[in-house]
């Protein structure tokens, strides 16, 4: 019988190509595409500061959010947010969460005043939290 020999480097290349194709499929399928989003929330009700972030011009919208220190925050992403933008991070507060649906939320309490960056896991979309 004839034996077929495949080099390990060829297998790695095939694996990487498959991974890129599968990732691209899920990126495109994960939402309705890039559509204009808007601030749906952003209110402070005395207990939790609720913020809903959308997407506009291939970035988070709004991309500057003001919050109060020491008061719990609940952040969600509306249906206009898709792809890697759903993997939301705020490194300074140790926050990283993949929000699959608009009902999913990130909850944390800002413990120090300052200006902090939020972003998707790949750094393609960014914004600023101003904690007062």
Interatomic CA distance for residues 79 and 102, integer angstroms: 6
| Domain count of the fold of the chain | 1
Q: Which string of DSSP letters, residue by residue, matches 36-86?
A: -------EE-SS-EEEEEEEETTEEES-EEEE-TTS-EEEEE-TT--GGGG
Interatomic CA distance for residues 117 and 59, integer angstroms: 13
Q: What pLDDT does 43 receive?
A: 46
Q: What pLDDT does 84 receive?
A: 94
53 assigned to some structural domain:
yes
Q: Which two tokens stand for residue 56?
A: 């506009």
> Residue 113 sits in a domain of what CATH number?
2.60.40.420
Q: What pLDDT does 2 receive?
A: 63
103 assigned to some structural domain:
yes
* Maximum separation of any 2 CA atoms in the chain, in Å: 77
Interatomic CA distance for residues 2 and 89, integer angstroms: 52
Q: What pLDDT does 46 receive?
A: 58
23 assigned to some structural domain:
no
Q: What pLDDT does 120 receive?
A: 96
Q: What is the pLDDT along the chain (132 residues), one digit of tens a residue?
A: 566 666 777 777 777 776 666 665 554 444 433 322 333 334 444 589 999 999 999 999 999 999 999 999 999 999 999 999 999 999 999 999 999 999 999 999 999 999 999 999 999 999 999 999
Q: What pLDDT does 47 receive?
A: 83
């Amino acid at each position: 019988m004839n034996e077929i020999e495949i080099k390990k480097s060829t297998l790695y290349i095939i694996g990487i190509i498959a991974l890129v194709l599968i990732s691209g499929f899920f990126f495109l399928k994960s939402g309705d595409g890039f559509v204009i989003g808007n601030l749906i929330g952003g209110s402070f009700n005395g207990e939790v500061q609720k913020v809903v972030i959308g997407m506009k011009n291939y970035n988070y919208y709004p991309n500057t959010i003001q919050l109060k220190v020491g008061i719990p925050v609940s952040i969600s992403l509306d249906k206009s947010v898709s792809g890697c933008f759903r993997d939301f991070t705020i490194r300074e507060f140790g926050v990283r969460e993949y929000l699959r649906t608009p009902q999913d939320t990130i909850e944390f309490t800002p413990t120090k005043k300052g200006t902090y960056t939020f972003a998707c896991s790949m750094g393609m979309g960014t914004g600023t939290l101003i904690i007062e």
